[in-house]
Amino acid sequence: MLSGMDIAAHRTKSIYRVTALITFAAVAFYLFFAVSKVPPFRDINPFNDDPYDAFGSFGFQVALLAAIVTYARALRLRESVAQAPKARLILRGNIVVVSAILISLVADAAAEVLRPFPPSYWGAILSWALLLMLALAFSCVLALISVFRRIRMPGPPLDLTPADGLDDLWTLVRIPVMKARAILPARLLSWVQNFTSDRLFSRFPWTSPRTHPWRFACSLGVLAGLGLSVAHLQEGLPPSLTIGLLITAIFIGFEFAATIIGFVLLGGYLGLRPSWNTNKRATLAAIFSVSILIGCGIQPDNPLIGAARSGDTQTIVKLLGAGADANRRWGVNGWTPLMHAIHKNQKASVEALLAGGADVNVRGNGGITALMMAAGYGYADIVQLLLDKAADPYAETPDGDNALVMAVGGVPDIDKFTVGKCQAQTVAALLKKAPDLRLKDNLHGHAARLAAHTGGCTDVLALIEHPKPAGQSNRGHV
């Protein structure tokens, strides 16, 4: 067994190599996740939906961030024997990375078993990619065991903070710069060599990662949310400043919560915050319990749902002819097959389901109907189809939301954000079917009208503000 200073002398290269392998696996996993969500893989991907997608979304973020920090620490260990006390943190970081990858891939494999890829060239590519990722992840596990099982490592310092993590990350900058020292100015080399996070935050002591680690974590969550909102701009500029600020606030809220939860659960384990001296088994049990709770959302396969989401009308007709329930609610949102088809904008699936006896007015969780969903997404052709099949334009959720409100204001769905998108055709289709529809003088009505105003939707506002024709019913004051 090797321990203490012997680690640097005999095993640093092996530790670095296995960490580099696991970092490569984390990058490959991120690419696998990203590519599986773009055409032509997106529409045939069974793990592109929750809860499987939730595993992948959290998994790649945890794996990638932990891998970067751990790889930087392995570089420092290879460079200096003084970093030997962090060997255990390197092991822990690698364990977190591999665990995040494996949990996500196992969830993906479960999705593929329950809802197999449709026979196609792209489905075969995705299947092989999943198998290769699983093989790479298990190879990382074997390599990790092989390297670390013979090393007896001292416990890491208990007073580490995010400042130490930033100093570790700076290694990723310092080493390449120093290797290029022959062509770089001496002043730059000196600054890079002597840089520390304490110097960086000396002008911002109130958020110093060493003295105020929790403030720093909160700031990091806000910055991550801002970064995601900027990345979201690739889908196009928001219709107005107000809508842009709303989108930014949503992203900041999600990333802020995720950062704090990660800092609580994994910060101490990875040496990124002072230890609370809590029971390690209890911490791991808490993380495992959260995974189990998320996993409870996984349900047995429903072939009709898969066919509806992928637009496989032949399979829909076949399954309905064999007695499949066209109105069975499925998934964490309690959606019917009709709603799943609308979520993927599969008009052909909607037509096949309606022809096969699907009830257009069945409600999902929260009292939402298929018409409300289609109206919120701005799918005017599907809205018209549903109205022609007797969808109720006056239906409301228990809290007073309805199809007109969703069409006018849009919906803040993370898969299709339509707030302020000016869905005039959808609004016109609803008002043509029910001319007496109005926005109520309540929170939902005001919010929808505000979204239309801030989005500059003059055509939508003109439709909803026209005078009510004489002799019309008052039923539709919604």
Per-residue pLDDT of the chain (478 residues; tens, 9 = 90+): 444 445 545 678 889 999 999 999 999 999 998 888 887 787 777 777 666 677 778 888 889 999 999 999 999 988 887 788 888 899 999 999 999 999 889 888 887 777 776 677 888 888 899 999 999 999 999 999 998 887 777 777 888 899 999 999 999 999 999 989 889 899 999 998 899 888 888 888 888 999 999 999 999 999 988 988 887 776 666 666 777 787 788 888 888 888 888 888 888 889 888 876 555 555 555 555 455 444 444 454 578 888 888 888 998 999 999 988 999 888 777 899 999 999 988 999 999 999 999 999 999 888 899 999 999 999 999 999 999 999 999 999 888 888 999 999 888 876 777 888 889 999 999 999 989 888 887 887 888 888 888 888 888 888 888 644 534 444 444 4
Q: Domain of residue 64: give its range.
A: 2-152
- Same-domain check for residues 235 and 166: yes
- pLDDT value for 3: 45
- pLDDT value for 467: 40
Amino acid sitting at position 155: G
- Same-domain check for residues 104 and 191: no
374 within a domain of the structure (yes/no):
no
Q: What angle do CA 296, 40, 326 make, to 5 degrees?
A: 50
102 within a domain of the structure (yes/no):
yes
167 within a domain of the structure (yes/no):
yes
- Same-domain check for residues 244 and 131: no
- Same-domain check for residues 140 and 7: yes
Q: For the beta carbon of residue 298, count every other beta carbon within 10 angstroms.
A: 15
- pLDDT value for 229: 81
- Same-domain check for residues 349 and 208: no
The domain total for the chain is 4
Q: Which two tokens stand for residue 222?
A: 């806000």
292 within a domain of the structure (yes/no):
no
208 within a domain of the structure (yes/no):
yes
237 within a domain of the structure (yes/no):
yes
105 within a domain of the structure (yes/no):
yes
Supply the DSSP string of 11-77, one letter for each residue: THHHHHHHHHHHHHHHHHHHHHHHHTTSTTTGGG-GGGSTTHHHHHHHHHHHHHHHHHHHHHHHHHH
Distance in angstroms (rounded) separating the CA atoms of residues 182 and 143: 36
- Same-domain check for residues 167 and 139: no
List of long-range contacts for 133-138, beta carbons under 8 Å, 24+ apart: 133/28, 133/29, 133/32, 133/101, 133/105, 134/105, 134/109, 136/25, 136/28, 137/25, 137/29, 137/98, 137/101, 137/102, 137/105, 138/102
Indicate the Cα dihedral angle 159, 160, 163, 167, nearest 10°. 130
330 within a domain of the structure (yes/no):
yes
- Same-domain check for residues 470 and 420: yes
Q: Which two tokens stand for residue 316?
A: 């829909």
